[in-house]
Copies of this chain bind each other. A is one copy, B any other.
Amino acid sequence: MQVYPNAFQPEGFFFLGKPVMETLTSVAAMKHWSRSHLAKGESLGFVPTMGYLHEGHVSLLHRGRSENRKLVASIFVNPTQFGPQEDLASYPKAPEADALKCEEAGVDALFLPTAAAMYGPDFHTYVDVERISDPLCGASRAGHFRGVATVVLKLFNILRPSAAYFGMKDYQQLQVIKTMVKELDLDVRVVSCPTIREDDGLAMSSRNSYLSPEERKQAVCLFQAIEQARLMFELGERDAASYIRAMSERIMREPDARPVYVSLVHPETLVDLTEVENGCLAALAVRIGKTRLIDNMLFERMETGGNGR
């Protein structure tokens, strides 16, 4: 990664190569950077990540780049959203590759705070987005969405972004953040971006790196279970229990796969459905060996215009 020292740039001179990406580690420096751009009326796009960036993240960066004058990405493996038995210590890291991907995607500032910078020793302020944090992943990951909401609120306060970009793969996270933004009167526009998938349909995730080659093959069961449900939806099946049975059976066909949950829910409340409706969400979490993966899909019926209107 090349760095062009600003001191040698004459005013009005533009490099033909990529502009310089700034890397900031302190909260004060990040606030100062964002305030100086916001004061000029520049829009600020923000992509918060936990690093180990894949094409899903890069798609968020591209969307953010296209919609804003300035683009900030953060990489912070947030300890408060991990449970004591979870993979905080082993979460994959690739700081140099991540910085290169950010720079190539046109990120203006990369925020890399330490846990100590984000959470003082007596940190005890938390945001709870109740109800919507309870089902699905919330049921098996106590405190997870409280940690997510709190760190995202902190990052929003530090950056004051005009828009923030999140992937649909983490659908419940997206709903938690949308609810928080609305209910706490934040100004940020929350942008949902489509899930990016491998060729066989596996949703991209930093945690896919945990999978052995054999587990990687089996991991396609998440997408295939959803695809099977989508077929049932297109055929007009209404009974949610039938979907859940079929999806669970598809998962259980893999020797190392065990469902954590398989659900058909309302897309906004995330409440379980018994009758499958247009616009509903199929969501599942599956353990492949020791790795916990999630996926989801919104089922929307095409309007055929058959009613003559």
Contacts and interface: CB of A to CB of B under 8 A. Distances in A.
Nearest to A150: B184
Q: Please tell me the size bucket of the interface on A.
A: 20 to 34
A244 B255 CA distance: 67
A153 B183 contact: no
A162 interface: no
A157 B183 contact: no
Contact of A124 (B27, B153, B179, B187): B179
- Counting every copy of the chain, the complex holds 2
A179 B41 CA distance: 30
Contact of A126 (B130, B154, B187): B130
A130 B123 CA distance: 9
A157 to B, nearest CB: 4
A27 to B, nearest CB: 6
Given A31-B187, A157-B185, A126 B128 contact: yes
B127 A126 contact: yes
A210 B183 CA distance: 33
Contact of A154 (B31, B153, B179, B185): B185
Contacts of A20: none
A173 B124 CA distance: 15
A186 interface: yes
A41 B36 CA distance: 12
Interface in A19-62: 27, 31, 39, 41
B124 A185 contact: no
30 contacts: A31-B185, A31-B187, A120-B182, A120-B183, A122-B131, A123-B183, A124-B129, A124-B130, A124-B131, A124-B132, A124-B179, A124-B183, A125-B127, A125-B130, A125-B149, A125-B179, A125-B180, A125-B183, A125-B184, A126-B130, A127-B127, A127-B128, A154-B183, A154-B184, A154-B185, A157-B184, A157-B185, A157-B186, A157-B187, A158-B185
Complex A-B, nearest 7 residue pairs according to Cβ-Cβ distance, in ascending order? A125-B183, A124-B130, A157-B185, A125-B129, A158-B185, A124-B131, A154-B185
